[in-house]
Amino acid sequence: MSLAATAPGLLTQTTGYRRASNVFGEAGTVDAYLRVEAALAEVEGELGVIPREAIAPIVAACRRENLDLDALREAAAVVGYPIVPLVAMLASRAGESGQWVHFGTTTQDVMDTAQVLQMREVLNITLADTARVERLLARLCDLHRRTPMVGRSKLQHGVPISFGYKIAVWLDQIFRTRIGLARALEEASVLQFGGAMGTLASLRADGMAVRRRLAERLSLVEPDISWHASRDRMVALAGAVAALLAALAKVAVDVAHLMSTEVGEVQEPAAAGRGSSSTMPQKRNPVICEAIIEAARSVQHVPGVLYGTMLQEHERGIGHGYRERAALSDAVQHLSGAVSLAEEMLAGLEVDAGRMDRNLKLTNGLIHTEAMMIHLSDRIGRIEAHRVLHEISHRVSQTGTDLGTALWEVAGAELPERVLDFHSQVEAAQQMIDRVLETVSFLGPKPEPGLAPD
């Protein structure tokens, strides 16, 4: 785990975060640039736009191990962008064929397309990882569909629910935001290839054929028109990344609260030394939850940053590209790490059904007040029932007596046993649980993890 002040803590040691960091790091980014340049040479050579014999030397040059990365860094620092010195370096290594490197394209074409390739590479795996999280949730949901627990509103006891119902709510939101991200990724998996002003003027009659073949070669969608200054797809992608991360963080927020000393209904997986305190040895801190929540809070501003990139000047804007690449790649890294942590947490989540049962009884029956009001409404009307139950609730809270005794003292009525039956109260939600599990299809065929081609 990185000890740097800027490192996002526990996330840095997860498989998802490391994988994303490798793809978006220097080597992964250069590899993406080279993939675009090599594919362009292949396509243009096949179509006769450049000499066919230029393909092999250019493709051979487009290998990172053939490059002097130190020299590339120094030159990029002078130019301000990496593509110009990269093209010069490739041209020098391709010999006489070097004059055909980067033919008819421009820096932003390469950088935008490379970014799309990187996003797709990382997010397709992250989507598959998220599907595994959903499978864990589905199993827990089915296992605890009738495990009664306190339902909480504004952190106060409300009415009984089942732990399975709570999990189904988590699962439904994660499933929907995963599908939303898969769709946004599919929409964003678009080639950028328009040349200087997006019009493909330098390639003249060959431009559209090259663009079509290049999109096919890279398994990307061919856009109707160049999108150098049209960033809505990236904005939608950022929003979808942030939404899925927030859905995971919702689970973490709930689990962290359920781990509190006063509640104690679940625990993160135990590990030697994990979550310990430097001054309070008795503590078992919700460190996985904390890391997921921090990840979500760290990227919640990213959609706003990317909305700003839509306000570009004319055909090619100024001062937008770096912010988009940095913010979006950082968000994807945080999401990928959070998914790994969520999988770890849910795979080993410790559920204390006994503590859930004891917590249901903490308020001396007040958790049944809604059911009692419905019962009394049939006899004395809803308004009077609400008044009576309000008085009874106050008496129970002040004196510590139980709901049944207070009901008899205030209204001279007995409390029917069926009103106290936790299991009958959670039964009503079973159809909703079934619908969620049916929708996500994890009790049957497994859904595709993502929609974008690999």
Active site members: 277, 316
| Cα torsion angle, 115, 119, 121, 122, sign | positive
Place of tokens 């927020």: 253
Other C-beta atoms closer than 10 Å to the C-beta of 46 total 14
335/164 Cα distance (integer angstroms): 25
Residue of 113, 101, 256, 117 whose CA lies nearest to 192: 113
User: Residue 212, class by beta-carbon neighbours within 10 Å (0-12 exposed, 13-18 middle, 19+ buried)?
Assistant: middle
Burial of 273 (0-12, 13-18, 19+ CB in 10 A): exposed
Helices (H), 189-231: 207-217
| Neighbouring C-beta atoms of residue 180, cutoff 10 Å | 17
Tokens of 449: 């993890």
Q: What are phi and psi of 279, to 5 degrees?
A: -120, -15
311, with CB counted inside 10 A (0-12, 13-18, 19+), is exposed
Task: Output b/e per residue, 401-414; b: 16+ Cβ within 10 A.
Answer: bebbbbbeeebebe
Distance, CA of 139 to CA of 145 (rounded, Å): 10
